[in-house]
Structure 1
Amino acid sequence: MINNTLNKDKGVNLAVVSIHGVVSVLGILENALVLWVLGFRLRRKTVTAVWVLNLALSDFLTTLTLPLFTHYLSMNHSWELGGALCAAQASIFFLNMFVSAFLLAVISLDRCLLVTKPVWTQNHRNVSAAWKICGLGWAWAAVNAFPYFIFRSVVEKQDRRKLCYHNFALYSSSGTLHTDCKVRQAATAVSKILLAFVVPLVIIAISYTIIVLHLRARRKRLESRRLGASKPKSSKFFRSLSLSREKNTTQHSQSFMKMVVSVIATFILCWVPYHVFCLLEVTAQYKTDIVNLVEVSLPVATTFSFLNPVLNPIIYTFSCPNFSTRIRQSLEAVFEGLVEEAGPLVRVTQSIRKNSLFLSSPSSPSVSRIRRISQGTSISDFKSSPINEGKRDDKM
């Protein structure tokens, strides 16, 4: 790379700089908006909101470094911002890579546990535990990103331009310089493709395979029960509430599942080229015929990976049910629809079931009033009633 010369096509270079500039501004605004809505405007924090909030925070930090990379391109591919910003930009880039992979794996495991162990998750799954897991993920990512911080420096090329890249010759003696460079380059390339790509993808694949198999088995059991179960007339009202609850929960679950699958697919598409050419870069030490391919393709693959934090906010928004209606109402409603884990009807139905004896007393609210609540016309009245007093769900 020290010997690599600059592309002399000014039109192409100007187009690349312009695209990077637009993507930088768009990415910062998108992720800042997501953080503002989920962090400050969301009335009720849920476990799902914590996952998405941390993903957005990681993406926001990465997009903040995009203007630095755009400046590098605009200066004829020369890093004129100093060694400190060079190390900071690389550290945040790799931090985002490890955090995103970690959180996507955790979200997949969370979905798997919700489906296969509903009772256990009801007792142990809460916002506090989600924040602790996210803190562990950030610490784990920081440890893995540390080598890219200490081995990042600015090197002057033969044509006087400055290159901000890995310098594995640092902290090495002259006798072991050649060996150290090879070992460090191979170790970092293999570790990041394993820890930030392969292992998370294996966890994701296993989790969703278990989910599909479990849901398929559950569907068969429900169908067999429906065929053999009797339908007493006295429970018609509660059956209708139960069906409405299942429909409401399924809608939110499907919207979040669609968002997760889209984010995972985007993560794979954006990062596969980068990891492939990082491995080819290591191989190029022994196969010199692919050096030119790596020199040209690796910067392009790196640019492609920067699209991941820019595309994620778009996926969050468009995965929300009833997007067109909600976006006209408020951006807050968009993200509440995305991270909502149980609608009002679920809480109403749960309260009705827990207080079935109370409903039969003379002082209990009438069935007609409950029916109006289930239709969404008097939720506020119900929240102030004795049934729901002190029973707000703090776990979600």
Structure 2
Amino acid sequence: MASCPSNQKLNITSYPLNQTAKLTSLNVFTISLHGLFSTIGIMENLLIIGVVGFHVRRSVISIWILNLAASDLLATASLPFFTLYMAKGNTWTLGTTFCRIHSSVFFLNMFVSGFLLAAISMDRCLVVLKPVWAQNYRNIQLVGKICVVIWGLAVICTIPFYMFRDTIPLPTGHILCYYNYARFPPSGPYDLASLCKQRKEGLAFMKLFLAFLIPLLIIILSYAAVNTILARRGCRRPFRFVRLVVAIVVTFVLCWAPYHFFIIAEAMAPKKGHLQVFSAKALPIAATIGFLNSVLNPILYVFSCPDLCNKIRHSLGAVMESVLAEDLAELARRCSTARSSISTSEMGLRHKNSVPTLKTEEQE
């Protein structure tokens, strides 16, 4: 199997040489963090999908939230497999196909989240800038079609990462689930090192621009336009709105900036340099921070809405009442059965006691 030798040498120095070596405190912390993020993310995104999908009236906002929650649920559901990869000493044991699928889910969530956050920001901007147009044309069908386009574009952007993902066996016994830029070589003569470098840099900058910089620019410009229009109209911006906008921008930057920084550093830094080696070691932690965005998105976009929080509390209360009602009904049924059995036993005893009495009366 052809592969980029520089990447293999880099990854040999990036991971412990002894596959059975004890986990370091940093690895244990990272693995625990992955498990915590996965549990919280799966629970809250399932809760949002259940409540918004079945207990909230269909609206434009609910369509945005459902798609965002579906993307975040995919990401957090794939996190345990990455945790297993780290727990086994950074070696992949689940096969090549699942390596590509698992990695593609991470990149799909990265693109979908960025595209959706940008689309939600533009939607809110249009509601303020073009209220008449929004009233006439902004509906569930249009937003549903936009979401389909967003998922389609995200899938197209994810295809190159699926193609160049591979399992790479190392002399140390590790099996990496990593990029193999030597796959699908060109038909003509080529230099392997140059080909790998070009593909590596191309995919790194593709992620940086399409999944981070362009969505971030759209988010900032949209909310800046909303703030400007509201100020020009003399409308006081509510504190909750300002806090939400700041939280969205800061969270998006803090969660994804480290990942993209280390990806670019690994691709552009000199081979075997300190920055490249450090970036390769820091990438798993940066990816963990990127996963944190899937945990924080529901809190920012859903739990900041009081009406939706009341719906969630009401739904959970209804579930608990239903469970308690079923338990009480079961308890009442058991008590009724117990009373019937006691009554039957008493009647039997009375019948037995009455038989000798009748015989005595007959003898007398």
* TM-score w.r.t. length of structure 1: 0.70
Q: Which moved more, 1:15-24 or 1:315-324?
A: 315-324
Q: How many residues align?
A: 302
Residue 12 of structure 2 aligns to a residue whose secondary structure is coil
| Contact kept in structure 2, 1:151 and 1:167, CA below 8 Å | yes
Tell me whether 1:292 sits opposite 2:295 in the alignment. no
Equivalent in 119, 143, 148 of residue 161 of structure 2: 148
Residue of structure 1 equivalent to 2:16: 6
| Contact kept in structure 2, 1:154 and 1:165, CA below 8 Å | yes
Residue of structure 1 equivalent to 2:142: 129
Tell me whether 1:266 sits opposite 2:251 in the alignment. yes
Residue 183 of structure 2 aligns to a residue whose secondary structure is coil
Residue of structure 2 equivalent to 1:68: 81
Deviations 1:43-102 (A, max 9, x none): x11101111111100000111111110111121111000011110111111111111111
Q: 1:212 to 1:47 in 2, by over 3 A?
A: same
Q: 1:326 to 1:257 in 2, by over 3 A?
A: farther
Residue of structure 1 equivalent to 2:261: 276
Equivalent in 209, 212, 229 of residue 214 of structure 1: 229
Gaps of 5+ in 2: 1-9, 319-364
Tell me whether 1:200 sits opposite 2:185 in the alignment. no
Residue 75 of structure 2 aligns to a residue whose secondary structure is helix
Identity %: 42
- 1:320 maps to a residue whose letter is C
- 2:222 maps to a residue whose letter is S
Give distance in 2, aligned partners of 1:109 and 1:95: 21
Aligned pairs for 1:229-240 (under 5 A) are none
| Contact kept in structure 2, 1:17 and 1:73, CA below 8 Å | yes
| Contact kept in structure 1, 2:51 and 2:315, CA below 8 Å | no
Cα deviation, residue 300, structure 1: 1.3
Residue 160 of structure 1 aligns to a residue whose secondary structure is coil
Residue 306 of structure 1 aligns to a residue whose secondary structure is helix
Equivalent in 284, 291, 297 of residue 306 of structure 1: 291
Tell me whether 1:54 sits opposite 2:67 in the alignment. yes
- 2:291 maps to a residue whose letter is F
Alignment RMSD = 2.6
Give distance in 1, aligned partners of 2:302 and 2:221: 27
Equivalent in 178, 181, 186 of residue 165 of structure 1: 178
Equivalent in 90, 94, 110 of residue 77 of structure 1: 90
Tell me whether 1:20 sits opposite 2:39 in the alignment. no
* TM-score w.r.t. length of structure 2: 0.76
Cα deviation, residue 16, structure 1: 2.9
Look at both structures and tell me which one has the larger radius of gyration over its CA atoms: 2
| Contact kept in structure 2, 1:37 and 1:331, CA below 8 Å | no
Residue of structure 2 equivalent to 1:373: none
